[in-house]
Amino acid sequence: MTRQTVSQAVAMLVVIWSLFRWWPHENYRGLPDYTFGRGDPQMMLSVDDLVASDMEAKVRVRGVIRGLVRGFSQLYQARWMELLRHARTVRMQGERADVVHLKGMPGNDWYMLAYYLYPLRCVGDPYEDGGSVKEPTLPEAQWAITGGKIPRYWRIGDADAEVPFPGDEDVGEGVLRESDLVQPAQSAGSGPGQGRGGPQPGGRRRGR
């Protein structure tokens, strides 16, 4: 076998292999045939089609994609959407110099919310650095967002928002149950705690 033949065989294999990846895998999420990643391109396409069909719902799209990245976690999706909604409300109602206290969430969520909220400044500690939903709100903050069992937000000065709330328990990643969730469809646009008997600070304008 000549060097030329070997090279040509290699080239043919490279092209065939790139096509092989397009061979759909029926049970992708079960991952029995994960080694060769058969069907990976279809996986990407299906995510993109989902996004394309719902592009106007930016928060939902972000939540869905993040959930897919986090191992197809629908639980994470729903919670992340809720947090993003609160971040968007605070971002729109807050002023450039405002400070937001982020409580009761893991570092990765904390840092990403800091991006969505920028140029509003975020303070507080994530779980890994000893943060908790129960920590007192820092004096420099004008807003607070908690990512505990039930994500919520409030403007500092709404006295009722500081009342202890049944959802204010610390939860780490992956320990939530479906039954712990406030479904996004129920809480959208009305503020956290809806239907739970807790305070309902969402949607108020700041009284500066």
Based on the shown chain and the rule CB under 8 A, indicate whether residue 27 belongs to the binding site for another protein: no
The Cα 155–Cα 143 span in angstroms is 4
The Cα 129–Cα 181 span in angstroms is 25
Beta strands in 24-178 (DSSP E): 99-103, 121-123, 143-146, 152-155
Contact 153, 145 (CB under 8 A): yes
Among the listed residues 43, 3, 4, the one whose alpha carbon sits nearest the alpha carbon of residue 27: 43
Longest dimension (CA), the chain: 83
Based on the shown chain and the rule CB under 8 A, indicate whether residue 3 belongs to the binding site for another protein: yes
**Least distance between another protein and beta carbon 81 (Å):** 13
Footprint of another protein on residues 90-129 (CB under 8 A)?
Answer: 107-108, 111-112, 114-115, 118-119, 121, 123, 128
Based on the shown chain and the rule CB under 8 A, indicate whether residue 18 belongs to the binding site for another protein: yes
Based on the shown chain and the rule CB under 8 A, indicate whether residue 73 belongs to the binding site for another protein: no
Of 26, 30, 46, 62, the residue at the interface with another protein (CB under 8 A) is 62
3-state per-residue secondary structure call for 161-201: HHCCCCCCCCCCCCCCCHHHCCCHHHHCCCCCCCCCCCCCC
Q: Which long-range contacts (CB under 8 A, 24 or more apart) does 71-74 make?
A: 72/29
Nearer to another protein, 122 or 161 (CB): 122
Based on the shown chain and the rule CB under 8 A, indicate whether residue 175 belongs to the binding site for another protein: no
Based on the shown chain and the rule CB under 8 A, indicate whether residue 188 belongs to the binding site for another protein: no
Based on the shown chain and the rule CB under 8 A, indicate whether residue 48 belongs to the binding site for another protein: yes
Q: Give the interface with another protein as residue ranges (CB under 8 A).
A: 2-4, 6-8, 10-11, 13-15, 17-19, 21, 34-37, 40-41, 43-45, 47-48, 51-52, 55, 58, 61-62, 65-66, 69, 107-108, 111-112, 114-115, 118-119, 121, 123, 128
